[in-house]
């Protein structure tokens, strides 16, 4: 987790262009989930935290004609964050599939700028590419303003937990 925390913290630098930050998050989180595929891994928890923040920003932006599926996906993601187990992950994944292209569900989330097809780092396999799609809908700066604090909080929690274990 400490390597992931350090990588995420590097992307939180306000001097980084919002578009580059979004692409960095997609690549970083997709690769982290590939390295830590376990349902309750720190990588999946970090990705889901980012997705909840992105989903709230998407809903707040009012750009969706029908937001029922996205609301259900955000709620399922929040339940997963409260209980990061197989059952909650499955429920979140099913909700996300119903709200494609939002969330970590079934569907192609590859970002061509990052990798060809669904290669690791493209955003496809983990669903991290959904962050890019939300940014396209609400603007990169708005997504960064929503997701940045969520990732910073997740990093702070991880660092605090490590300190408590020493």
pLDDT tens digits for range 119-165: 889 999 999 999 999 999 999 999 999 999 999 999 999 888 876 55
Helix or strand run (H / E) with residue 14: none
pLDDT tens profile 94-119: 999 999 999 999 989 999 889 878 88
Q: What is the pTM (predicted TM-score) of this model?
A: 0.94
**The pair of three-digit structure tokens given for residue 132, joined into one six-digit string:** 């890019």
- Nearest of 45, 63, 50 to residue 24 by alpha carbon: 50
Our count of domains for the chain comes to 1
Query: Which tens digits make up the pLDDT trace of 29-70?
Result: 999 999 998 999 999 999 999 999 999 999 999 999 889 999
Residue 103 sits in which domain range? Answer: 2-165
What CA–CA distance (Å, rounded) separates 88 from 83?
Answer: 7
**Eight-class DSSP state of 111:** -
Q: How far apart are CA 38 and CA 160, in angstroms?
A: 22
pLDDT value of residue 1 = 55
Give the H/E segment covering residue 143.
helix 140-165
pLDDT of residue 116: 74
Is 58 or 2 the better-scoring residue by pLDDT? 58
pLDDT (mean) for 16-34: 96
**Whole-angstrom Cα distance, residue 146 to residue 128?**
15
């Amino acid at each position: 987790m400490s390597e992931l925390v350090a990588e995420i913290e590097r992307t939180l630098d306000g001097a980084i262009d919002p578009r580059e930050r979004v692409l960095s998050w997609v690549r970083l989180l997709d690769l982290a989930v590939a390295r830590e595929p376990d349902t309750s891994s720190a990588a999946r928890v970090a990705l889901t935290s980012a997705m909840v923040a992105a989903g709230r920003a998407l809903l707040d932006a009012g750009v969706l004609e029908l937001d029922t599926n996205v609301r259900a996906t955000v709620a399922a993601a929040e339940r997963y964050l409260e209980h990061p187990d197989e059952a909650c992950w499955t429920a979140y994944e099913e909700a996300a599939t119903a709200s494609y292209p939002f969330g970590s569900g079934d569907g192609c989330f590859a970002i061509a700028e990052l990798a060809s097809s669904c290669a690791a780092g493209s955003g496809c396999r983990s669903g991290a590419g959904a962050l890019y799609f939300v940014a396209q809908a609400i603007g990169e700066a708005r997504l960064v303003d929503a997701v940045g604090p969520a990732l910073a909080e997740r990093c702070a929690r991880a660092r605090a937990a490590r300190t408590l274990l020493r």
